Amino acid sequence: MKKIIIGIIMLAIIITGFGVIFLHFEPTKQTNNAPTASAKKKNTVEKTPVSEIAIPTLFVHGYSGTANSLGGMIDRFVSDGFATKSLVMTVATDGTIKTTGTYDKFSLNPTIQVIFEDNKSSMVNQTAWIQSVMKELKNNYHIEKVNALGHSMGGVSLTNYIEKVGNDKAYPVVEKLVLIGAPLNGLVIGDDGVTNYDLTEDGPKQSSARYSEFMKNKQNIPSNLQVLNIAGDTLDGTKSDGSVSVASALSGKFIFKDQVASYEEEVFTGKNAAHSKLHENSDVDTKVAKFLWDTEKVD
């Protein structure tokens, strides 16, 4: 009996010893609910915002235009923090494209400047070249959506492109379109501001062959499109920007308005509303930036 008691005592001593050792080496518990290092890392990753894929904007110059035509506008948008200068795509007469610059789909509103080597070609040729650019963007850069801005003939060719391509999924979807001084119904200007092409409530009094084709094919325009149409009036009595009449530019209302998600137009006036100054006009910049990116310059 004495041996049994001694054995029980020894066993109790051994168990107590192991308990002390275990308690001594047990890791300190979190008593303040603070996250561990791994939890902190996990939380940081989960809270990091995922960048959205940006919609790039194409800039297409007018008749006899060069890299300088819309280059200044692009540079100002970049300088003002509205956009990121991205690609410059120069299109040869055979449709081949030379591209410079880099494209980052997560950059802020990347710009894509389109330049035609033959800068005095027809609307038909320019339309085909825009198609080549769009296919390149879709196939090689995996761009699904774009915005587009065209000055003068560039706006005419973009309008023709949109009607020709329609909803063809081989090309990126055009989300927003900006036309600046686009002669959609010819180039007739009256010294007194009156021409046979002036607008009525129902449309132009007279239609050019180009305008008639636009009206005939307007049902091909995608319904998702948003349009901003800008005209210039130098206030010299001709009701024009010196090259394109206000009536010709704003005839776009009858092409787009009933076909698209939204249509907006504005006439800028004064000496800085001359045809080649419209894309150098700070007020035009502000209007375009607000339309494309819902932002504006704060002085």
The CATH number of whichever domain residue 211 belongs to comes to 3.40.50.1820
Please tell me the pTM assigned to this model. Answer: 0.82
The count of domains in the chain is 1
256 in a structural domain: yes
3 in a structural domain: no
220 in a structural domain: yes
Q: What is the pLDDT of residue 11?
A: 46
Q: Taking a C-beta distance cutoff of 8 angstroms, is the pair 244, 187 a contact?
A: yes
281 vs 28, residue with greater confidence: 281
Question: pLDDT digit string (tens) for 126-139?
Answer: 999 999 999 999 99
Domain that holds residue 231: 57-293
pLDDT band of residue 236 (cuts 50, 70, 90) is very high
pLDDT band of residue 296 (cuts 50, 70, 90) is low
21 in a structural domain: no
Name the strand (E) or helix (H) holding 13: helix 2-25
What burial letters (b/e) apply to 148-178, b meaning 16+ CB within 10 Å? bbbbbbbbbbbbbbbbbbeeeeebbbbbbbb
85 in a structural domain: yes
State percent of the chain over pLDDT 90: 81
5 in a structural domain: no
155 in a structural domain: yes
6 in a structural domain: no
Q: Write the CA distances from 156 to 3, 115, 118, integer angstroms.
A: 110, 15, 16
Structure tokens at 265: 């137009």
